Amino acid sequence: MPDESLTSHPAHALTNLLRRGKCSPLQATTAYLDRIQALNPKLQALISVDEERAKNRASALLRADAERLPLYGVPVIVKANICTEGFEANCGSNILSGFHPPYHATVVERLERAGAVVLGMANMDEFAFGSSCETSCKGPTRNPWDLDRIPGGSSGGSAAAIAADLGAAALGSDTGGSIRQPAAMCSVVGLKPTYGRVSRYGLIAFASSLDQIGPLTKDVEDSALFMEVIAGLDSHDSTSADVKVPTYRAALRRPIGGMTVGVPKEYFIGGLDPEVERAMKQALAALKGLGVQFKDVSLPHTEYAVPTYYIAATAEASSNLARFDGVRYGRRVPSGNLQEMFENTRGEGFGAEAKRRIILGTYVLSRGYYDAYYAKALKVRTLIRQDFEKVFETCRAIVTPTAPTPAFRLGEKLDDPLSMYLSDIFTISVNLAGVPALSLPCGFTQAGLPIGMQLIAPAFGEETLFHLGSAYEQATDWHLRKPAAVAS
């Protein structure tokens, strides 16, 4: 088997080849490393790769019991805000340059325990602040489908890497759409799990009540497979939920006839790109052909989601980022006294978007404004969660577009923060409500840019997402298409 063919397989298929002795973990790892070497310079999807570490890990797996390892020999990529021993976890920020965590995040530990091989760290918007993967201190990531366009953010490096077959799967984090939006724009599958379903231990925090780690994969089955590995209670994370993890793959390929799915009117509004609307209508028709019953529903507080999010999230970001001051880890700018060291380190270490969010967050938490902004945002957040709960009384799931537009051009919105923030208008509510959502490919524009469909389920309803998503995926071929811009 030619080495280049190894990189095109989804993880579950690659593992089957490895178990049957059709190739070795070292051959699979080497094939991916060769592809990274060839394509990453023009994509900038990965910001660090450790070939020696990956090959040593793959070689060691030859002595392992392959049948007991669900991810035996699978090469994976980790977003640069998830602590991985041996790699720099810089969060795409100069202020954490040189920070090498002395431990694995729980999710990385679980991946390696399941037999995965970590290849490197994925590029990202600085501290996950962005929707385009342009604010990284390492420079922007490019979309494999069109190198002049953004891959989405903040997990743009993870999404671009999987779309270009630089890894079999990747981990990302999602605070307001940072897994799902880039998944849609790069034509891969991205899952934002229920808050508490996956441990956040070792995730460098943006907004602690919103952040969730999740997989970006080549198909829905891989997403289910990775969730079986990374989900579950963790004693290191007090917010992780003590809820049994199902065998998610059991939900795959079951008929979906008779399932009631809500279509919220607030997500099909003016401003939705005509080609996205067309693709969604075709996707709904395909689901209807599989027996899905649609119901028009309303999520009336959706219009308040963006301002609510950018109050709550920036407030938490301001608090979380206060720890980066040059004293304990990361960048330090030598100065005459302690106050100057703080100011200069933070002034030079943080980029423009990080500073913007710190300032916004500090403002809404400040005396005299806390009740007017932050406290009110928390009340509206409760109303948004209640909207979802009401719909789920009569619907198994909700279907929406993932993003209002296809990928835009590099630099197009970089100087227009409000326009950039609106890129996540369809994903933010899910994080505020704490429910799970899956983005999967549902079409392309006439220019060949990917379009994604979002499926939303009640809390801990990931099984429903895999059930519905797998049925749609089996009836279409969008997920099988590969970007010509990085064809080998």
Which residues belong to the active site? 79, 154, 178
135 contacts 92 by C-beta, under 8 angstroms: yes
**Residue holding tokens 């950039």?**
420
Cβ–Cβ under 8 Å, residues 213 and 480: no
Residue with tokens 């280049």: 4
Q: Is 335 helix (H, G, I), strand (E, B) or coil?
A: coil
Contact predicate 466/259, CB 8 Å: no
315, with CB counted inside 10 A (0-12, 13-18, 19+), is buried
Instruction: Give me the count of residues in the chain.
Output: 488
Quick one: how far is CA 1 from the chain centroid?
Answer: 32
Cα-Cα-Cα-Cα dihedral sign, residues 192, 196, 201, 207: positive
Which stretches of 397-472 are assigned E, i.e. beta strand? 397-401, 437-444, 450-456
Pairing of strands 117-122, 189-192: unpaired
DSSP state letter for 241: -
Q: Quick one: tokens of 261?
A: 């799915």
Under a CB-based contact definition with an 8 Å cutoff, are residues 182 and 133 in contact? yes
3-state DSSP assignment of residue 183: helix
What is the distance between the alpha carbons of residues 158 and 46, in angstroms, rounded to a whole number? 8
In three-state secondary structure terms, 212 is strand
Q: What does the block give as tokens for 302?
A: 């959706």
d(CA 295, CA 264): 9
Displacement of CA 28 from its chain's centroid (Å): 24
Question: Side chain identity at 333, as an amino acid letter?
Answer: V
**Both tokens assigned to 468:** 């519905």
Task: Tell which residue, 425, 449, 475, has the closest CA to residue 279.
Answer: 449
Place of tokens 């080549």: 218
